[in-house]
Amino acid sequence: MESFTDDGCGSSSDDGRGKSEVSAHERLAAVIEARSLFLIFRHCRNGAQRARTWRFIGCVAGRRASRPRDFDQGMRGIMREYFGVDWQPPVYGDETFERRFRVPRSVFMGIYEAIRDRLFWRQSINATGRPQAYALQKLVPVFRVLACAESYDRADKCVRLSKSTIEVATKKLIEFIVEEWEPVYVRPPSDEKVKRMLERNAAWGMPGCIGSLDFSHWEWAACPKGLVKQCQNLKKRRSIVIVTVCDEDVYIWQFFIKAPGSLNDLNVLRISPLYFDVVEGVWLPKSFSFCVNGRSRRFLSYLTDGVHSKYPFFVSPYPNPIIPTEKIFNRPQEALRKDVERLYGVLTARFHILLHPSLFGSVEQMMLTGKEAAILRIMVVEQRRGGYVAHERIAAAASARDGEPAAAAGDGHADVAVDVGWAGDAGFVAAAASDVSSAAAAGTDPFAGAVGQVEAGADGAAAAAAGLGAAAAAAGD
């Protein structure tokens, strides 16, 4: 019994020693693994810090020096080509200006007046004490990118700005336009404008219509792989859906861009702000009445195609017209709906950046760019609406019916149409030219006061800003 007890005690002590050795090995392995992970993490972190430091650091050994860009020369070229210097007319007139920048001169100068005193846009002084680029010098290449979808470094030869500066300026201008003017322009029409639309559409044979609604799939070539399933439609193409409502002047009243391409038109409609406003009773004013087939109605409607649901605020054509009444109804309905279908062609023709969706890496960038193009289009319509042929014909018909001479063509927008040409920019040009000559004679910065003294001599720019503000106020009424 004693020997048996001794052997048992010996075996139990050996088992305890083995377990302690195993636990020690496990602890050692865990410590080694944790240290390895720590070393790997520290190596990756240091590498990322070195990469960021090398990218954003100033003058270091081995880094390429900044190119000696002559900002004054770039500014002088812009002034000479588009605004004139030394009381000389510009090289390119208003027609060429609008063809290159896709907006009238008054709209361009109004946007310039709104941004030129902001932090990024105003002229700054770098660490070496040298003046940097001017606000107008940054704005010109940005509009070229939006209008013609130019690469960011193409304007370097003309405006003397780097690719990174133009890229940042483009993004900041898009964000500024959307933030500043989206609540003003992209909103439901006022009662006065609804009344005018009802009168015009009733004359065309569609009473109670206040616009046309359509859906468009904007193909996204640079869609990330993680969003392919969400944005891929039935045609195996990745896209973003746009919902728009416009009138016969291609004036945009509703612009919703957010839904992924995997949703069909009916699903997109149910998540659009327009649908919720109509369901909750916020939109479609009930204060207007119209007559159809001898019956008085108050529920206004939009023109759509035959794909959408049979909502009471949609007017769709007959899918298979047989009797003459159905054919007569379809003819004006389809004719008026061409306005909203023409809208997408107008937007892409004026702003070619919409034709290059590979430039956008996120849905937010696509949304901002689409809204920016819509807002600029609304500004252009506000400036040119009074001179449209349709308005001139309506004014002539009204004058012939009333027996009075035709007034200014338009539908009440003539008072906000301010088209300032080269003559209106005379003050801006004079201030710049005088500063160039005096500063050059003194041996100082020739454009140090050209842009800074726009307030004193820029009568044309101030008139353009006032016209843009009046258009915004009219759109918000």
Are 447 and 72 within 8 A, CB to CB?
Answer: yes
- In sequence order, the β-bridge partners of residue 444 are none
DSSP, res 415: G
Burial of residue 220, with CB atoms counted within 10 A of its CB: 0-12 exposed, 13-18 middle, 19 or more buried: buried
pLDDT value of position 451: 37
> Which amino acid, one-letter code, is at 156?
D
**Dist. CA 314–CA 337, nearest whole Å:** 12
pTM for the whole structure? 0.73
Name the H helices within 116-257: 135-148, 156-159, 163-185, 191-203, 228-231
With tokens 């009046």, the residue in question is 470
Q: Give the span between the Cα atoms of 374 and 185, in whole angstroms.
A: 9
**pLDDT confidence of residue 24:** 80
**DSSP-derived secondary structure letter, 190:** P
In the chain, how long is the greatest CA-to-CA distance? 136
Residue whose C-alpha is closest to residue 206's, from 307, 315, 288, 313: 315
Q: Please give the structure tokens belonging to residue 164.
A: 């990174």
Helix axes 135-148, 71-78, angle to 10 degrees: 60
Give me the pLDDT at residue 435, please: 39
CA gap 450, 439 in Å, rounded: 10
What is the reported pLDDT for 475?
53
Q: List the pLDDT tens digit at each of the 477 positions of the chain.
A: 444 444 444 444 555 555 566 678 788 888 888 888 888 878 777 766 665 544 445 556 666 677 788 899 999 999 999 998 888 899 999 999 999 999 999 999 999 999 999 999 999 988 888 899 999 999 999 999 999 998 898 888 889 999 999 999 999 999 999 999 999 999 989 899 999 899 888 888 889 999 999 999 898 888 888 888 888 888 888 999 999 999 888 899 999 998 999 998 888 988 999 999 998 988 888 889 888 888 888 889 999 987 776 788 899 898 889 999 999 999 989 888 888 989 999 999 999 999 987 778 788 899 999 999 999 999 999 988 877 777 777 777 767 776 655 444 444 443 333 333 333 344 444 444 443 344 344 344 444 333 333 333 344 444 444 555 555 555 555
DSSP state of 416: G
Q: What is the DSSP letter of 65?
A: P
CA neighbours closer than 13 Å in the CB half-sphere of residue 7: 4
Count the alpha carbons within 13 Å of 117 in the hemisphere toward its beta carbon. Answer: 7
Q: Which letter does DSSP use for residue 58 in this model?
A: -
